[in-house]
Every structure is written in C-alpha cells, then in structure tokens.
Structure 1
Amino acid sequence: MTVHTDRDNAWIQRFGRSSSGDLSLVCFPHAGGAASFYHPLSRLLPSSVNMLAIQYPGRQDRRAEPCVENLAELADRVHEVLQPLTGQPLALFGHSMGATLAFEVSRRLEEQGVTPVHLFVSGRRAPSRHRSEGVHLRDDQGLIEELKELSGTDARLLDDEELLSMILPALRGDYKAAETYVYRPGDPLTCPVTMFTGDADTRVSPEDAAAWREHTTGPFELMTFDGGHFFLTGHLQRITEVITSALR
C-alpha cells in the first residue's frame, strides 16, 4: 500500500492513486482507528472522487504525537486543515466516533458558508442521543474486551503485547473524546445525510440511527445492513455504490 501525505500535511493521507476529480470525500476513522482503515474504500471509488483519509494524532506515522482527547477540539483542528479545500466540492464520511466528528466538521463548514455535498455516517447514534458508557475509564484489559466485543480488530493482534502497547493509548484517548462529547444544540445541517447501520450493532439502536434525521433539513436516507458494529467491512462494495451514486 502506497501512502501519500497530502501536501506534507500529516492530517490527510491518500492511498496509491491520483484522481482526476475535483470532488473530495473526506473520511474519518473510528475510535482507535487510523487512516489506513479506508484503504479498501479508496480502491473501489471511481477516479472522479478524491479520497482523503484523516489521520488523527497518536497512531501509525503520528504515534509520537499526543492524542486529542476532546472531540470539539479535534473537529476544530480538522476544520482548519480542510480550509485550503473549501473552494471545491467536499463530501464527508465517518464511522463510529468518526461519524460524530464528521458531523461536527460539517457544522463548522456550514457555519462558514460552505455546504458539504453529502454527509455519510455509519455505526453511530445521532449526536443528540447521549449515552454514558465509560469505556475510557476501564483498565487495559477492559479496553481489550471492548475491542473483542466489537470485532473490529484482528484477534491475533489482541494477543500481541507489543502491538497492544501501541494501540491502547490511542484507543483510550479516542474513547475519552467520544464519551465526553457534549452535543451543542443549534441549526440542523442543510446537506443530504445518509446513515448506514448494522442490524446487530449493540451500540446503535434503530431509534438511535433514525434520529440522524433530526440533524438535517436536507434529504435523509437510512440504510440497514446485516452485521454488527463493523458491518461495513462486509458490505463495502454496496456502500461504495451508494456513495458513488449520491456523489454523481
């Protein structure tokens, strides 16, 4: 996998291909995740779409940097990073914590007069539906149990102490950001929103998923797939088709 950092900006990564398109899809990883999570998606998207994967501090090539443990601050920083791109069409996609972050960045864009082409959210309850979980307060074993329950990490990695020592700090920092997030009431978005959810995701109820409708005055679509929290890895082809059709 060839990774290109965008204009020497550590926040944005591209994977192995250049695009002729002038529309960018900005992708936000889940808690503990990295930009590389979106490499499979980048291979399926048409050349008309530039895929930009956000790399949070505290993991992979940014492992030496401290994590941002406040989601509002993280949204502010990503919003600032995206400023050079606001002269072109932008769409946003986020999974789990990344969905909430993509929503908050979309809010900031609209507040400055830049309306995203589309917001795609996945595997996350609507921002206004808070639930206290306290995962970031658990000990290391508790965090590992969370990873096992969500089935989003290769089980072999969970037995590798050296790899875990690199993964857990970012996971804890991201969970703190997600779990201490406080929704700020305000005007709904105006852009179209598509919400993807898994029918066996114990973290997102059907009501939690449907509540995203309250967060935009634009078109809204809710799509349910077979699977748990990381359902999208088994339905990536179909999800890519939906994204491509919406952006066309």
Structure 2
Amino acid sequence: MKKVNLFCFPYAGSSAMIYSKWKKYIHEQINLVPVELAGRGGRIEDEPYTSIRNAANDAYQQIQSQLNQGPFAFFGHSMGSLVAYELAHKVLEKKGLQPEHIFFSGRRAPQYPNQGMPKHLLPEIVFKKELSLMGGTPPEVLENKELSDLFLPLIRNDYKIVETYEYKKKVTELKCDISVFHGKTDEISYSELMGWEEHSTGRCELIEFEGGHFFINEQMKELLRVVNSKIDLILK
C-alpha cells in the first residue's frame, strides 16, 4: 500500500510527543513521523538552537534519508510552522523535492514580523503569567520550581528564535497546496493568515477551528479529519 510520510514539527517548548495521540485517528495510508527537535524529549541534552534556520537545518539532517521513500507532507504548529517553511525550501534546494502538502497551523505568514514586546525578554514571573494565559504549557511546569528550572530556559529560547526570526524572500518557489489552520479566537489577522498563499503556486485554503492558539489540542479530532482528507487527495 502506498503511503505518505507526514513529518510533524512541535510548537515552542513542546516535544514530538504532542503528536503521539494522533496515531489513533490518522488514516492507515499516512505514516506519522513526529520530528524531535534539540533540547527536548530524547534530545534533552542537545544544545538549543540559535535560529529557526538552525532548527530547520537540523530537522533536514534527521529526515533526509526518508525523503526519497515516496510522497511526503509537512505539519507545523506555531514555531513548527516556521521550521516547516524553512525546511521545505531546504529540501527543495538540496534534493529538488518538495512536500505534496504543507499544513501551517497557528502562525502568521513569515513575511509579517512579530508584534508587541518580545516575550523572551520578559522577567520570569511575567513570562510565566504570559504562558499561563496562552495555555499549552502544563500548569505543573509553571508552578513547580524544579520543572520550571528545567523547562523554562527551553521555552524562552524557543520564543527567542521565533521572535528574532528575519524573513528573507526565497529564490526557489514551492508548488504544493497549503492548508492554513487557525483558532477563531487567536489574535492573528485574516491578511496575516492568507499571506501564506504568497509562498506557493499551489492552492492555499484557510480553515478555522473553535478555540484559541492551542486549538490543536482542543480540536484534535476535527483537525485530523481535515488532515486525513487532504492527504487522501494526494493518493488519488
């Protein structure tokens, strides 16, 4: 049976484990490949990244041997969307290949700079409060000193590489279809979301879900129904 490799990239402060629950709902034609980034999970001892491009280069080293196995797609949420974007161009540059479909979730298009005070510069108490308001970070991580000391530096560094990301227009051009996922109460404008359509000659579709920035956790089953349907089209 022909399968599509779906490479998934986590949001700031999270690990590849966030995608473990997906296996129960993903169609059998999809081979789910959560990509573990440095500084978390089984790679907790690895040095943190200095930039999003640094993260994308590392991700490329991890998946390059699987890229010739057949069709593949990328999914990234928030920080993971930027990693997926840079990685797609890295793969095109190095191998002349590109994903059949990219799912950019919970993130404005890369040409739009981050707005407001950079969160990675906030004092610890304020930073914790911001993380609590956004959701996505387990309360025990914010409330337990030992866990905070362990995980907060990683989360802060992830925010740093996102907030200091500098967009550079690519020479190469993607041709794949794009799905943009958005939580209805997340503070990203329509124009910022639809800005993703500038990055491929393929079709770009905006799909909204109930919830805020972390709708990816709250609306998992509905989200995966869309992912399954989009990837099913690749196999037809």
Give the structure-1-normalised TM-score. 0.87
1:141 Cα deviation from its structure 2 partner: 1.8
Q: Distance in 1 between matches of 2:77 and 2:4?
A: 20
Match of 2:135 among 126, 146, 151: 151
Q: Runs (4+) of structure 1 moved beyond 4 Å?
A: none
1:37 Cα deviation from its structure 2 partner: 0.9
Aligned residues: 228
Instruction: Quote the residue 2:15 is aligned against.
Output: 34
Match of 1:53 among 34, 37, 62: 34
Match of 2:177 among 178, 184, 192: 192
Given that 2:178 and 2:203 are in contact with CA atoms closer than 8 Å, whether structure 1 keeps it comes out as yes
Task: Report sequence identity in percent.
Answer: 33
**AA matched with 1:104:** E
Instruction: Quote the residue 1:86 is aligned against.
Output: 67
1:21 Cα deviation from its structure 2 partner: 5.4
Instruction: Quote the residue 2:81 is aligned against.
Output: 99
Instruction: Quote the residue 1:117 is aligned against.
Output: 100
1:100 Cα deviation from its structure 2 partner: 0.9
Given that 2:52 and 2:165 are in contact with CA atoms closer than 8 Å, whether structure 1 keeps it comes out as yes
1:121-167 superposed Cα distances (whole Å, 9 cap, x missing partner): 10000011112441112222232122112111232432111111111
Structure 2 gaps of 5+ residues are none
In the alignment, is residue 212 of structure 1 matched against residue 193 of structure 2? no
**AA matched with 1:197:** H
SS of equivalent residue, structure 1 residue 37: helix
Q: Distance in 1 between matches of 2:217 and 2:54?
A: 29
**AA matched with 1:147:** L
1:12-62 superposed Cα distances (whole Å, 9 cap, x missing partner): xxxxxxxx7532100000011111111122221122111111111112322
Given that 1:69 and 1:174 are in contact with CA atoms closer than 8 Å, whether structure 2 keeps it comes out as no
1:188 Cα deviation from its structure 2 partner: 3.8
SS of equivalent residue, structure 2 residue 139: coil
Structure 1 gaps of 5+ residues are 1-19
Instruction: Quote the residue 1:13 is aligned against.
Output: none
Determine which structure has the larger helix proportion and give its number. Answer: 2
Given that 1:21 and 1:50 are in contact with CA atoms closer than 8 Å, whether structure 2 keeps it comes out as no
Give the structure-2-normalised TM-score. 0.91
Match of 1:236 among 220, 228, 236: 220
